[in-house]
Amino acid sequence: MTMQKQPLRILAIGAHPDDCEISAGGTAALFVQAGHTVKFVSMTNGDTGHHIIGGGQLARRRHAEAMAAAAVIGIDYDVMDIHNGELEANLYYRKSVIRLIRAFEPDLVLTHPPDDYHPDHRYTSILVQDSAYVVTVPGMCPLSPHLTVNPVYAYMIGAPTRSSSFEPDILVDIESVFDRKLDMIRCHESQLFEWLPYNQGRLDEVPDGSAERRAWLDEQFRNRIAAIADHWREPLVRDFGQERGEQIRYVEAIQACPFGSPLDRAAVQRLFGSLEVSGAVAIPSGGA
């Protein structure tokens, strides 16, 4: 397998600022490291994700956090100005997704599984899925130049229990970039140190000092992401071999979506071949 000659364009579309980092931040870092172009999009501005502040103040804070996370690995990050919790799978938002996908011209589009736990996640998934194929139709959004090739669409997931249907086709060993993923996640202070601990009844566990907070958050996410590898240990052993598969600690999982171009073996090699070279992906012999 040779390194990818033509840089790829990878687009991850999440529901909220921080979703792409949590679900695919390591994979994104590996793609950037391999010389490809990655972009994150949040379909909402996150303006209800806090127990004390909200509205424009919170939206601006979360936008700043997203920009800081993007800077960690050197990518672009768009935050759509749609109220948190008010995303709908309607024609207006579908056209917005069609336009943003056409504008970026991606080879691979990542989004949430269609049965993810949060309604904003589910509607994001539907909107992205419903853009597949239509992005190639000139008469849909005719002032936005259509794509001549339908991208590959796939699902990303932040925890193995967030979807009952998710079964990975690609498992990416992210240990070499795990600290970069954590650096991105740490940028979302309003969520990881404030809102989510409050929502989970654990706010009193959050330390005060910055170093102590960093160590606390690292432990939370090391355990959370280690659970993904443990959950799919059998396919890791199958794809990476017994010794390596049993030792891998941190992975991100990707499942093919049926509505884009097929994630067949040729597509897997084209999209993930450079990660295979680096040892982060073992491409199954049967393809995806």
The torsion angles phi and psi of 78, rounded to 5 degrees, stand at: -105, 135
CATH number at residue 98: 3.40.50.10320
Q: Flag whether 151 is in a domain.
A: yes
> In which domain, by residue range, is 43 found?
9-277
Q: Flag whether 76 is in a domain.
A: yes
For the chain, the farthest-separated pair of C-alpha atoms sits apart, in whole angstroms, at 56
Per-residue pLDDT of the chain (288 residues; tens, 9 = 90+): 344 568 999 999 999 999 999 999 999 999 999 999 999 999 999 999 999 999 999 999 999 999 999 999 999 999 999 999 999 999 999 999 999 999 999 999 999 999 999 999 999 999 999 999 999 999 999 999 999 999 999 999 988 888 999 999 999 999 999 999 999 999 999 999 999 999 999 999 999 998 999 999 999 999 999 999 999 999 999 999 999 999 999 999 999 999 999 999 999 999 999 998 888 998 765 445
Enter the pTM of the model. Answer: 0.95
Q: Are 87 and 238 in contact (CB under 8 A)?
A: no
Q: Flag whether 283 is in a domain.
A: no
Q: Flag whether 198 is in a domain.
A: yes
Q: Flag whether 43 is in a domain.
A: yes
Closest by CA position to 115, among listed 150, 155, 85: 155
Q: Flag whether 285 is in a domain.
A: no
Q: Flag whether 287 is in a domain.
A: no
Closest by CA position to 94, among listed 120, 129, 55, 53: 129
Q: Are 213 and 65 in contact (CB under 8 A)?
A: no
Beta bridge pairs of residue 253: 171
What is the number of structural domains in the chain? Answer: 1
